[in-house]
Amino acid sequence: MNMLQADNERAKRLTKLCIKIIEKKSGKEEILKFTEDLNSVRPIEVISIVEAVIDVSGNIAEKKANLSKILNVLHKGISKYKWELPSGNLFLKDMMSENSFLKKELTELKNELKGLNLETENSISRNEKVKELIDKILKLKNIENHYVKKENIFFPYLEKKGGHLKCLPVMWSIHDDVRNGLKKIQNIRSENEINLEKFYSIIGELFFSMYAMIFREELILYPAAIEIFEGEEWENMYEESFGIGFSFIDKKLKKSGSVIPEGVSGNEFVDLGSGKLDVEVLKLILNSLPLDITFVDENDKVAYFSQPSTRIFPRTKAIIGREVQNCHPPESINKVNNIIDSFRNGSSSKESFRIFFREKYILIDYYAIRDGDGRYRGTLEVTTDISDIKELSGEKRL
């Protein structure tokens, strides 16, 4: 059962209306006929409407454009919906505190932008003022942990309740719009002559995406989620948050150690063919490797990830059992499927990628895992920080 789908007459009526709107078969006059429905719409009903709109939309850009249109129509009713944060729900409390800080920062930056009169400045003075403002804007990068917690904790929990929700990849794509906007702003800072039109255009898109995300979280996603999750599930999400961190708010991170007290054994051994290892020792070995290891089984479900002391990409226990396609932004899904398909049909056994990520040079290798009969059993992802390795030369012997 999909717990995030509303099956009532109001949701059905509004779904038909919204599809007509994006197909340009309905105008203001017809929208007014649904005023009562629009003014009383509930968050879970909005999710049902959104899912239907995404279904009849084309590529990801069209999906985002269509959702902006229909959410604008639904905005008044969604804003009227009253909900309260359940007492003791620390996960959502933190997520909303992060949003509050972001809104405060955005308001201050907007006021500074209004106060700038750059047109009358000479180019040197103008560049300096813009660069000062960019330095403040770049502090918004701190929102990253907020988005990562959604992608790696909140979304997997929602998928377990609501199945394959099409709205989640769209939200992830908006996260990436914010990330790309911040990168563009950073690139502008290095320009000798800052193009003001380009600067204002990027800022407008960046702020629009950030506000859109706050709106969708606090007026749709969070109130819908409190109707379907139990207290223990919220507690688990909160505990997993410490593995990623927090945006803007000051909280001490808990360290999840996997150290076994000296002399303690799990008394459970695994036969590895070339030797037997205590299960707990095997965990220590895997987590001691300076690699991020993730295994996706033959059904495309995440089955395991290692927990090294320093991770490159975030992983949480919430992703275990999650379809690997849902662990990537929508723009990457075709590449992921192509790799897995080539492993499954035997046309390839390894794929490698190299990227620059947070000032690190990262190697990502994908390996096809096959059994003795050559049957595909899954995909192993191995991620390595090769920043130091690529600088090596000569020899260092024992």
**CATH number of the domain to which 234 belongs:** 1.20.120.520
Write the DSSP symbol of residue 163.
Answer: S
Which of 194, 73, 206 has the alpha carbon at shortest distance from 137? 206
* Number of domains making up the chain: 3
- Does 294 share its domain with 211? no
Write the pLDDT tens digit of every residue in 8-31: 899 999 999 999 999 888 788 888
- Alpha-carbon span 368 to 228, nearest angstrom: 38
Write the DSSP symbol of residue 386.
Answer: -
Domain region containing 369: 289-391
Is 278 inside a domain boundary? Answer: no
- Does 76 share its domain with 95? no
- Does 19 share its domain with 126? no
- Alpha-carbon span 55 to 357, nearest angstrom: 33
**Banded pLDDT at 391 (limits 50, 70, 90):** confident
Is 196 inside a domain boundary? Answer: yes
- Does 138 share its domain with 119? yes
**For residue 396, what pLDDT is reported?**
82
Q: What is the mean pLDDT of the chain?
A: 89
Write the pLDDT tens digit of every residue in 221-241: 999 999 999 889 999 999 999
- Does 63 share its domain with 125? no
- Does 67 share its domain with 167? no
Crossing angle of helices 60-80 and 9-22, in 10° steps, is 130
Is 333 inside a domain boundary? Answer: yes
- Alpha-carbon span 97 to 202, nearest angstrom: 26
- Does 219 share its domain with 329? no
- Does 70 share its domain with 97? no
**For residue 122, what pLDDT is reported?**
67
- Alpha-carbon span 32 to 53, nearest angstrom: 20
- Residues 321 and 301 sit within 8 Å (Cβ to Cβ): yes
- Does 184 share its domain with 326? no
The last residue of one of the domains, among 241, 275, 301, is: 241
**Banded pLDDT at 273 (limits 50, 70, 90):** confident
Is 318 inside a domain boundary? Answer: yes
**Banded pLDDT at 119 (limits 50, 70, 90):** low
- Does 15 share its domain with 147? no
DSSP readout, 82-130? ---PPTT-HHHHHHHHHHHHHHHHHHHHHHHHHH--GGGS-HHHHHHHH
> What predicted TM-score, i.e. pTM, was given to this entire model?
0.84
- Does 101 share its domain with 143? yes
- Does 103 share its domain with 237? yes
The last residue of one of the domains, among 80, 108, 128, is: 80
**For residue 268, what pLDDT is reported?**
84
Q: 215 φ, ψ to 5°? A: -60, -50
Is 250 inside a domain boundary? Answer: no
Is 265 inside a domain boundary? Answer: no
- Residues 244 and 256 sit within 8 Å (Cβ to Cβ): no
The residue among 69 and 128 whose pLDDT is bigger is: 69
Is 254 inside a domain boundary? Answer: no
The last residue of one of the domains, among 210, 226, 241, is: 241
Q: What is the CATH number of the domain that holds 382?
A: 3.30.450.20
Task: Reply yes or no on whether the pLDDT at 255 is more than 60.
Answer: no
**For residue 100, what pLDDT is reported?**
96
Is 296 inside a domain boundary? Answer: yes
